[in-house]
A = this chain, B = another copy of it.
Amino acid sequence: MSYELYYWDGIQGRGEFVRLALEDADAAYIDVTREPSRGLNEMLGLLSDPSEGQLTFAPPFLKDETVIVSHVANILLYLGPKLGLAPKEEALRWYANGLQLTITDLVAEVHDTHHPIAVSKYYEEQKTEAKARSFEFWNNRMPKFLAYFERVVQQNPADSGYLVGSKSTYVDLSMFQIIEGLKYAFPKAMNDYERRYPLLARLQNAIKGRPKLAAYLASPRRLAFNQEGIFRHYPELDMAA
C-alpha cells in the first residue's frame, strides 16, 4: 500500500522535506490534500477526530497502514531505512536523527524571521520586529548553522562528501532543501555562499543531480517557493546590497 502524506496544499512547507525523500526513493505515496478524490477535509477530520487514539498536533504526518507518524524528523527516521536513505550503522542513525533535528530548529528560526511575534498575525503586522529578527538571523544564526553543517561534512570520517556515513541519506536531501530555501529567501545574505561553505555547495550540486530528484524538481508536483511557506522572499528582510 502507498504511504499517505498529510500536509497543507499550496506550499512546499515542512511537508517538502518528506516529499524529497519519497520522490528520491521513487516510493509510492499519496499526497492526500492534493488528491482530487481525497482533499483537505480528510486531513482536518483526522486532526479533530474525537475517536482517534493517536492525535497529531499539526501537519505534516504520515500514515503507513495503521501507523501514524508526525513531525518531519520522526517521519524521516521512520521512512529512512525503508527507503534506503538511512545509514546502516545504528550509531549513525542516532547521529542522523540529531542532524535532522538541528535542521528542524533551523527551519523554525527561518519561519520566525517573518513571524517573530505572532503566528496568528500577518507579516505586515510585525514587519519592524521581522527586520530585527532577520538581521540577527543572517548575521549570527544562519552562519552558525551553516558553518556547523560544513564542519559535519568536513569531519565525516567516511569522507564521502555527505553529512553522515559513506552514502547519501535523507539528511542530505533536507540539507539540499534548506540551501534552496535560504537562497530563495535571502539571496543577498546567501550571495557567494559557495565560497564560504564549499562542501555544502558541492553536496547541493550532488543532490540536485540525482535522477529521481531532478525529475521531481522539474515536475509540476514540485511547487515553487512562495510567500505562504516557511521560506519567503521579502527583500526588506534580506541583507542590504
A residues sitting closer than 8 Å to B (CB atoms) are: 50-57, 61, 66-71, 73-74, 77-78, 90-91, 94-95, 97-98, 101-102, 104-105, 108, 112, 116-121, 129, 132-133, 136, 140-141, 145, 148, 151-152, 155-157
* Selected contact of A112 from candidates B53, B54, B57, B112, CB within 8 Å: B112
Chain B positions within 8 Å of A120 at CB level:
136, 140
- Nearest-Cβ distance from residue A78 to partner chain B, whole angstroms: 6
Q: Is the CB of B152 within 8 A of A55?
A: yes
Q: Who on chain B is nearest to A69 by CB?
A: B94
Partner of A129, one of B94, B116, B119: B116
Q: Is the CB of A117 within 8 A of B94?
A: no
CA distance in complex: A69, B54 (Å) = 27
Supplied contacts A57-B105, A74-B97, A119-B141, 9 more A-B pairs, CB within 8 Å = A56-B98, A57-B148, A67-B90, A71-B102, A116-B133, A117-B133, A118-B132, A118-B133, A119-B136
Pair B55/A68 contact, Cβ less than 8 Å: no
Contacts of A97 in B (CB 8 A): 71, 74, 77
